[in-house]
């Protein structure tokens, strides 16, 4: 067997087994509007620690925490709906700064 055939077989095997190896990860699905009754969602508001934290940083850390929480609860998916996001503003002589914040709803599937 030449090297090209071995490489193709190896790629096919890797693709075939990838759901088994990587299938345990929780999927985070971003939605525009709730797909279920709003009562099934949990409202969360995250606020940055200082004027340097960005809302993307807050969202990234929340994703990690919600994935581990979903895994504990036996969920396969997390539905996230971002309601409001505020970017941080650094204070200077002319303006007062603020911390980043993000308000969202989530539901475990």
Spatial distance between the Cα atoms of 5 and 15, rounded to a whole number of angstroms:
15
CA separation for the pair 18, 30 (Å, rounded):
24
pTM above 0.75, yes or no: no
Residue 13: pLDDT above 90?
no
- Strand residue runs (E) in the chain: 27-31, 42-47, 77-86, 101-108
- Over range 21-42, report the average pLDDT: 81
Mean pLDDT of the chain, nearest integer: 81
The reported pLDDT for the residue numbered 51 is 73
Measured distance CA(34)–CA(91) in Å, rounded: 36
40-85: per-residue pLDDT in tens?
999 999 998 877 778 888 999 999 999 999 999 999 999 999 999 9
Alpha carbons 67 and 73: distance in angstroms, whole number: 10
């Amino acid at each position: 067997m030449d090297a090209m055939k071995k490489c193709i077989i190896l790629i096919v095997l890797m693709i075939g087994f990838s759901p088994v190896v990587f299938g345990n990860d929780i999927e985070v699905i971003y939605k525009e509007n709730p797909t279920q009754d709003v009562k099934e969602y949990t409202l969360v508001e995250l606020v940055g620690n200082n004027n340097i934290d960005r809302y993307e940083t807050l969202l990234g850390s929340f994703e990690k925490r919600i994935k581990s929480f979903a895994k504990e609860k036996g969920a396969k998916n997390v539905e996230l709906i971002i309601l409001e996001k505020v970017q941080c503003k650094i204070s200077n002589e002319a303006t007062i700064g603020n911390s980043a914040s993000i308000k969202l709803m989530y539901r475990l599937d």
